[in-house]
Amino acid sequence: MRRGQVAAGRVHVEERSADEGVSVKTKEKNLSVGSSAERKVSGVVERREKKGESVKVGCDGVAAHTEVDGEGRMWGEIVMKSGANDENPNASQSLPLSPPSASRNRQHPMAPKRGVKVVAKKKTEKVTNPLFERRPKQFGIGGALPPKKDLTRYIKWPKSIRLQRQKRILKQRLKVPPALNQFTKTLDKNLATQLFKVLMKYRPEDKAAKKDRLLKKAQAEAEGKPSESKKPIVVKYGLNHVTYLIEQNKAQLVVIAHDVDPIELVVWLPALCRKMEVPYCIVKGKSRLGTVVHQKTAACLCLTTVKNEDKLEFSKILEAIKANFNDKYEEYRKKWGGGIMGSKSQAKTKAKERCKRSSFRYGFMIGTCFLDLVLKQASLCLITVSL
């Protein structure tokens, strides 16, 4: 079998058997030629891929004149000098290339890209041992274990978890009055991060720090030295204490937790802050506020003053908080919450609405047809009367 490859300016022809046909490969198509004796030749090729132009192949012992059709397929003949027989060294043989196929819908394989080695995929046959019989699994009683699946809906959860989930669902289903719905409008994440950075700078002292301070004060008094008793600037906490500071108009910022239980403890606090014109905000959640003041939870916090180096940052936070809460108080005071039904109920409601719209369209079409009929009858009556 002879193979010829035309690629990147070079041609290589191999002839292995006189009984088989020869296959010549180009970048576009596979071309077949006749058979001949065994020989190997190689040389340089000149190519032009425009429609109707010829492709010339020249080398030691090979010459060809071929044509390229509109689809880029090459055909023609290759003339080769045999050189295999010493008695007739100038013998030559003409190997015709097959013309292009008449069918244009024939799909031809694409040539591989340059520099990419195409490895033929080997089909591996699965070897099965005849000694082991294939037995499908039986998932009945006493059989194979079933595949794992999500058992969330079948787990008996603790009562506290069931209650909080039911409470969350009820808050979505039932109508929530505006006084309670305002606690769902919390401070955004970026602004809350900036606020808590400022609050952490003014954390009150813990028990160990207070013990050290009192010990140093007692030692100074025992030695007769004057004690430096400068009041520190810290965050104020405690519902009664914060309420007193708001009423005395000493509070500069009030921070309220959104998940206080019972909510009646702080439900009136936004109205009091608005009346006293004190900036307030609602954040998530009470445990995060408790971390600031070394407690488990805290319903609300308050800042009365800040240091000079933090006044610029604190004023920017106050402006953003006023725009989101104090200025929008009237809007939140009228907005109800809840009323969000489940997925099944929403699907039924949408189906009813679609049915209503389709029935309305059908009735409108019938009405227009009846009106057209009445108008036609009236026009006929007028014509007969006029005649």
Q: What is the DSSP string of 157-189?
A: --HHHHHHHHHHHHHHHSEE-HHHHGGGSPPPH
Is residue 246 a contact partner of residue 272, using CB atoms and an 8 Å limit?
Answer: yes
N- to C-terminal Cα separation, the chain = 98
* Residues forming beta bridges with residue 57, ordered by sequence position: 45, 64
CA angle 8, 9, 15 (to 5 degrees): 95
| pLDDT for residue 1 | 38
Look at residue 117 in the predicted model and tell me its pLDDT: 67
The confidence score (pLDDT) of residue 232 equals 84
Identify the CA nearest to 74 among candidates 33, 29, 12: 29
Distance of CA 35 to the CA centre of its chain: 61
| Four-point Cα dihedral 51, 54, 59, 63, nearest 10 | 140
Point out which residues pair with 283 in neighbouring strands.
Answer: 257
- For residue 316, what are its two tokens? 């920017």
Q: C-alpha dihedral over 383, 385, 386, 387, to 10 degrees? A: 90
DSSP state, residue 377: H
d(CA 182, CA 192): 17
Tell me the pLDDT of the chain (387 aa) as tens digits.
344 444 334 444 443 433 444 444 444 344 444 433 333 333 433 444 444 444 444 444 444 555 555 555 555 555 444 444 445 545 544 444 445 444 455 555 666 566 666 677 777 888 888 888 888 999 989 999 989 999 988 999 999 999 999 988 998 999 999 999 999 999 999 999 999 999 999 999 888 888 888 888 888 888 888 777 778 889 999 999 999 999 999 999 999 999 998 999 999 999 999 999 999 999 998 999 999 999 999 999 999 999 999 999 999 999 999 999 999 998 998 889 888 899 999 999 999 888 888 876 766 677 777 677 777 777 777 776 666
> Who's near 42: CB < 8 A, 6+ residues apart?
10, 11, 12, 13, 59, 60
Phi/psi for 42 (5° steps) reads -150, 150
Q: What does residue 178 show for φ and ψ, rounded to 5 degrees?
A: -60, -35
Quick one: which of 19, 32, 40, 20 has its CA closest to 82? Answer: 40
Residue type at 258 in one-letter notation: H
The counts of H helices and E strands in the chain are 10, 15
- 375 forms beta bridges with none
CA–CA separation, 62 and 56 (whole Å): 10
